Amino acid sequence: MNLKKIQVWLLSIISGLLLSCGWYESILQLIVFVGFVPLLIINEHYNNNKSRFSNFHVFIFSFITFLIWNGVSTWWVWNASPSGVLMAVVFNSIFMSVVFSLFRFADKVTKQKISAIIFVSFWLAFEYLHLNWELSWTWLTLGNGLSENIKLIQWYEYTGVLGGSLWILSINYLMYKLLFEHLFNNKVEKYLKTKYILPFVIILPIIFSFILFYTYKEVGKKVNVVVVQPNIDPFNDKFSGMTVPEQLNIFTKLALSKSDSTTDYVVGPETCLPQYIWEDNLRTHPDLINIKQIVNKFPNINLVVGASTARFLNPNEPLTGASQLYDGENKYYESYNTALQLSNTLDAEVYHKSKLVLVVEKMPFAGKWHFFDY
């Protein structure tokens, strides 16, 4: 198989657009099952022309694919941090291109029979690493590309999102082999083998998922929950246009209008309390006193809201990548994206978000490599 340069360009662009569909709505997400196919065809083209092309060519065209995928899928982060999204899109595309280039290199020097294993294994290893290191950027984990088709992915409860990635990668490779053997190689035996395997790989997980979905029964205690979204403009009002008391008054009025003595929980948005609160002051902070009028009126209610909090570290407490030196004093503090639960019977309960958005919420390697520090 030999492709013209313009065909390689078109295939790399098409691959990026197909992969991006997984991060849009409804049935469009299913296109992610063929997103890698054009890129795999490019890889086959370079495999058939080893003497003419180096691994760098695969890196360049895979980078185009992944740059389109990252850009089209996560452009909206620009609204929060233009520099953050540029860094994330470029670096994530580079990481993906390196992984695909490693697959191309391994595929070139090993037997073709294990090509599928190499492709799937390398990508899953990358996604696992990407979930757990300082440069974690997990939105484009492939399994997330089926997030709106919940009837198809009920088995995620056993495999996690990487199970979905395995499914998507397997179908992509089989679709590529089916197309390649039929259109380019004309090898009937291999074509028929793939043709019979592919339906099982597609259908069996769907059948299992449907069984889980339609046989599921709710268990445990029922609770009455009021979810409040005050719909305050995050760009013009949330952090500058409106005062905090004005925002909390809107939230409180909405919550009280829908709550009664049977309400168990009132849940607010992530930035319900937009100003930093020191965790030593959770009992006395005026914003919390203001918002607690909800639980004062209905004592059975547990109020769960998002806040930005900070706390000073104890002198003997080890420093982490999030630790920062407090201005003018020889002590450290850490800031958090926090969920607070407020009730009439207990002090505020605190939960700190563990997976932070790169650059927007945390800087990688802060405290380890000083040029990354704030």
Give me the numbers of helices (H) and strands (E) for the chain, helices first please.
11, 7
Mark whether 189 and 284 lie in a shared domain. Answer: no
Amino acid at 103: F
- Tell whether 253 and 334 lie within a shared domain: yes
At 159-172, the pLDDT tens digits run 999 999 999 999 99
Query: CA-CA distance, 64 to 5, in Å (whole number)?
Result: 14
Alpha-carbon gap, residue 154 to 149, rounded angstroms: 9
If one compares 142 and 181, the residue with the highest pLDDT of the two is 142
User: Does one domain contain both 134 and 234?
Assistant: no
* pLDDT of 335 over the 70 cut: yes
Q: Which of 215, 244, 267 is the last residue of a domain?
A: 215
Taking the CB of residue 282, how many other CB atoms lie within 10 A of it?
Answer: 18
CB 173 within 8 A of CB 34: no
Least trusted range by pLDDT, from 10-14, 19-23, 328-332: 328-332
Q: How many angstroms separate the CA atoms of 183 and 163, rounded?
A: 30
Are residues 285 and 356 both part of a single domain?
Answer: yes
What tokens were used for 114? 């294990």
Same domain, residue pair 201 and 53: yes
Please check whether residues 241 and 101 belong to one and the same domain: no
Same domain? For 263 and 357 the reply is: yes
Average pLDDT over residues 30-55: 83
**Given 157, 188, 215, which residue is the final one in a domain?**
215
**pLDDT tens per residue, range 317-330:** 887 767 778 877 78
pLDDT value at 201 more than 70: yes
Cross-strand partners of 336: 309
- Both 344 and 237 in one domain: the answer is yes
Give the end of a domain, one of 168, 184, 215.
215
Provide the number of structural domains found in the chain.
2
Evaluate whether residue 67 is within a structural domain: yes
Residue 141 in contact with residue 127, Cβ under 8 Å? yes
Residues 265 and 289 in one domain: yes
Question: Which strand (E) or helix (H) includes residue 191?
Answer: helix 188-215
Mean pLDDT over 137-165 rounds to: 94
Closest CA to 338 of 277, 254, 283, 294: 277
Grouping H, G, I as helix, E, B as strand and the rest as coil, residue 260 is coil
220 in a structural domain: no
Main-chain dihedrals φ then ψ at residue 314, nearest 5 degrees: -70, 150
Strand partners, 307: 273, 338
At 40 the pLDDT is 93
What's the predicted TM-score (pTM) here?
0.83
Beta strands in 260-342 (DSSP E): 265-267, 273-278, 302-312, 324-325, 332-342
| C-alpha to C-alpha distance for 7 and 232, rounded to whole angstroms | 47
The answer as to whether 282 is a domain residue is yes
Is 231 found in the same domain as 209? no
* Calpha distance 152→150 (Å, rounded): 5
* pLDDT band at residue 374 under the 50/70/90 scheme: very low
DSSP for residue 370: G
* Residues 20-26, mean pLDDT to the nearest whole number: 88
Same domain, yes or no: 43 and 181:
yes
Contact 168, 124 (CB under 8 A): no
Residue 62's SS3 state is helix
Neighbouring CB atoms inside 10 A of 158's CB total 9
Same domain membership, residue 250 and residue 363: yes
Contact 342, 305 (CB under 8 A): yes
Higher pLDDT, 47 or 225: 225
Instruction: Supply the range of the domain harboring residue 330.
Output: 225-372
